């Protein structure tokens, strides 16, 4: 009776209401689809709420528009009529900007806001990860999303309140960065709670497309309302993420146990959280009791999360965190500087406009989506996350070299090489931040005693976010010396990223060689990471 009341208490109110109306529950498979959809929407809204600052920079400091005289991508003149385009562009060119960003140091102040956001985001992620494993993930994620929406909206309210104090906008971005840090550890932890390891790489590779969807939708949304005043470009995305937070509160079960899937008897072979032996028995017709040995048996708030220091000693966390530092350094340099590079580089004997460069640069993300899916699929098939990530990073080196050397021949060749480079650069970045983080957060060394998914994700992605901030910053200095220097930096970063995983790659190859030789002890694959020798090698 108490178990039923506890489950009812933890069940999200929206799901509880629907179950009451339907008179029956959904299947585990249906719940997994719901989890993927809700977490996809949640993190896409996080990224959408980060885009307004890049859209309104030319409004704050309009000098750049006087040179280009184009509408910011992705709106351009494709999505609006020609007469609207001319009028809209003229209004913005004639604008005097927004004090204090329209002064001679305006671009520096805009850069300070970006750095402040990223600094608070990366540092806040370490704390957010531990809190996510300690508190109820559903409530924690809801709080982070609504808080993000409030402070993104408050930044936009500076337009209506006619605020011209730099510290107001800086503080709004800093607090927003702290709330934004709640997102990634939480959504990865939720997905990790619901999906076993067997197809986790492929599932999360597809699911990781939310980043690109959020970036594109945020750009479209912020630019669409910009003509009504730049404040709306923040308020509307802020309202979007806050609304998504309410949706999460109503319908997202963070743990299977929250809706009674602990101790359920099920004969379905489709439960990926079972061990391989149990799956084999299930397929033969045996009834298997569904209870994950590495799961959270009592659901929300039932266990204490491990500390950051303790999580760092989980085998594989530090190497993957350092690898992501350099992997994100490379990926975010392309993210922030590729449109500028395309507009400054002669391709096929001519220079393209800023708008064309912005549109063309999105193909790098298209290759990244394909790379994330491919890396996840390969790592599932080989049961070798480290080997897959290291191989992709090594392959990124010649792909970047080819892009720099031959990308200027023609636009067609540039597009082809750009997609290939995006595939290899973003593939390991997506794999490490999703499947690897979820694997390590359920590592067998925890013995099922603690929650570590959000903490591990925070350590890995927080370290990577530091690299994400440094890459574009260093590129700003190196680009003045020539783009060859920038690409050398990127290739060196990719090489270091792959070398940092060499120990784990050796462990995976050693395990595969052991598997090829029959063992009297019958060693089993580690259910959490597939890197069985790690515990033994690090003693």
Query: Is 361:339 a contact under the CB 8 Å cutoff?
Result: yes
Nearest partner of 303 among 439, 442, 458, 136, judged by Cα: 136
CA distances from 259 to 9, 267, 298, 388, 448 (A): 9, 19, 10, 35, 20
Q: Report yes or no on 284 lying in a domain.
A: no
Per-residue model confidence (pLDDT) at position 322: 92
Do 160 and 54 belong together in one domain? Answer: yes
Per-residue model confidence (pLDDT) at position 452: 64
Do 330 and 390 belong together in one domain? Answer: yes
CATH number at residue 487: 1.20.1250.20
Q: Report yes or no on 133 lying in a domain.
A: yes
Q: What are 199's two structure tokens?
A: 């197809």
Q: Report yes or no on 300 lying in a domain.
A: no
Do 251 and 180 belong together in one domain? Answer: yes
What is the pTM for the complete model shown? 0.68
Whose tokens are 């204090």? That residue is: 100
Q: Report yes or no on 296 lying in a domain.
A: no
Do 372 and 500 belong together in one domain? Answer: yes
Q: Report yes or no on 226 lying in a domain.
A: yes
Decide which of 241, 260, 279 is a domain's last residue: 260
Do 254 and 318 belong together in one domain? Answer: no
The count of domains in the chain is 2
Query: Is 300:398 a contact under the CB 8 Å cutoff?
Result: no
Q: Report yes or no on 91 lying in a domain.
A: no
Nearest partner of 187 among 44, 375, 296, judged by Cα: 44
- Give the domain range for residue 414: 307-511
Q: Report yes or no on 527 lying in a domain.
A: no
Decide which of 235, 260, 285 is a domain's last residue: 260
| Euclidean distance between CA atoms 206 and 213, whole angstroms | 12
User: Is 162 exposed, middle or buried (CB count within 10 Å of its CB: 0-12, 13-18, 19+)?
Assistant: exposed
- Helix (H) / strand (E) element for 441: namely helix 437-441
pLDDT tens-digit profile of 383-426?
888 899 999 999 999 999 999 999 889 889 999 999 999 999 98
Do 312 and 446 belong together in one domain? Answer: yes
Do 350 and 409 belong together in one domain? Answer: yes
Query: Is 297:6 a contact under the CB 8 Å cutoff?
Result: no
Q: Which residues contact 422 (CB under 8 A, 6 or more apart)?
A: 334, 363, 364, 365, 366, 367, 368, 370, 371
β-bridge mates for residue 53, sequence order: none
Q: Report yes or no on 334 lying in a domain.
A: yes
Do 251 and 312 belong together in one domain? Answer: no
Question: Distance between alpha carbon 482 and the CA centroid of its chain, in Å?
Answer: 31
Q: How many helices (H) and strands (E) does the chain have?
A: 24, 2
- Helix (H) / strand (E) element for 2: namely helix 2-10
Residues of the chain with pLDDT under 70: 1-9, 58, 62-95, 107-108, 111, 196-201, 262-308, 336, 353-356, 358-359, 438, 441-453, 515-539
Do 328 and 410 belong together in one domain? Answer: yes
Per-residue model confidence (pLDDT) at position 139: 93
Do 456 and 311 belong together in one domain? Answer: yes
Phi and psi at residue 265, in whole multiples of 5°? -90, 125
Decide which of 260, 293, 321 is a domain's last residue: 260
Do 187 and 313 belong together in one domain? Answer: no
Do 256 and 315 belong together in one domain? Answer: no
Q: What are 143's two structure tokens?
A: 């709080």
């Amino acid at each position: 009776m108490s178990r039923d009341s506890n489950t009812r208490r933890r069940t999200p109110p929206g799901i509880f209401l629907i179950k009451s109306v339907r008179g029956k529950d959904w299947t585990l498979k249906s719940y997994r689809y719901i989890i993927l959809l809700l977490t996809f929407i949640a993190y896409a809204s996080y990224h959408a709420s980060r885009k307004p600052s890049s859209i309104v920079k030319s409004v704050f400091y309009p000098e750049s528009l006087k040179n280009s005289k184009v509408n910011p991508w992705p709106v351009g003149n494709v999505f609006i009529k020609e007469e609207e385009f001319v009028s809209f562009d003229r209004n913005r060119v004639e604008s005097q900007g927004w004090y204090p960003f329209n002064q001679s140091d305006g671009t520096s102040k805009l850069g300070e806001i970006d750095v402040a956001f990223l600094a608070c985001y990366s540092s806040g992620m370490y704390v957010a990860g531990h809190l996510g494993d300690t508190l109820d993930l559903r409530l924690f994620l809801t709080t982070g999303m609504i808080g993000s929406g409030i402070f993104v909206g408050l930044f936009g309210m500076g337009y209506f309140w006619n605020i011209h104090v730099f510290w107001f906008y800086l503080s709004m971005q800093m607090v927003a960065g702290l709330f934004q840090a709640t997102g990634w550890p939480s959504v990865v932890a939720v997905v990790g709670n619901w999906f076993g390891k067997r197809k986790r790489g492929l599932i999360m590779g597809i699911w990781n497309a939310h980043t690109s969807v959020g970036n594109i939708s945020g750009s479209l949304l912020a630019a669409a309302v910009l003509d009504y005043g730049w404040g709306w470009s923040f308020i509307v995305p802020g309202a979007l993420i806050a609304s998504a937070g309410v949706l999460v509160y109503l319908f997202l079960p963070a743990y299977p146990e929250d809706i009674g899937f602990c101790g359920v008897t099920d004969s379905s072979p489709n439960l990926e959280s079972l061990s391989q032996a149990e799956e084999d028995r299930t397929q033969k017709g045996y009834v298997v009791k569904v209870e994950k040995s590495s799961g959270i048996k009592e659901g929300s708030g039932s266990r204490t999360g491990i500390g950051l220091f303790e999580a760092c000693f989980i085998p594989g966390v530090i190497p993957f965190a350092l690898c992501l530092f350099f992997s994100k350094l490379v990926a975010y340099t392309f993210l922030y500087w590729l449109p500028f590079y395309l507009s400054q580089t002669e391709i096929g004997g001519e220079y393209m406009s800023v708008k064309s460069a912005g549109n063309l640069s999105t193909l790098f993300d298209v290759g990244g989506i394909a790379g994330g899916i491919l890396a996840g699929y390969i790592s599932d098939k080989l049961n070798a996350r480290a080997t897959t990530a290291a191989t992709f990073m090594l392959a990124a080196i010649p792909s970047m070299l080819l892009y720099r050397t031959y990308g200027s021949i023609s636009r067609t060749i540039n597009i082809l090489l750009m997609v290939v480079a995006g595939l290899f650069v973003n593939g390991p970045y997506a794999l490490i931040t999703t499947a690897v983080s979820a694997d390590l957060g359920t590592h067998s060394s925890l013995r099922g005693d603690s929650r570590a998914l959000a903490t591990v994700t925070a350590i890995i992605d927080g370290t990577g976010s530091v690299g994400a901030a440094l890459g574009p910053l260093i590129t700003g200095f190196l680009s003045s010396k020539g783009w060859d220097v920038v690409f050398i930096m990127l290739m060196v970063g990719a090489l270091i990223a792959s070398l940092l995983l060499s120990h784990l790659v050796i462990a995976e190859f050693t395990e595969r060689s052991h598997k090829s030789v029959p063992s009297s002890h019958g060693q089993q694959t580690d259910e959490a990471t597939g890197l069985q020798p790690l515990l033994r090698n690090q003693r």
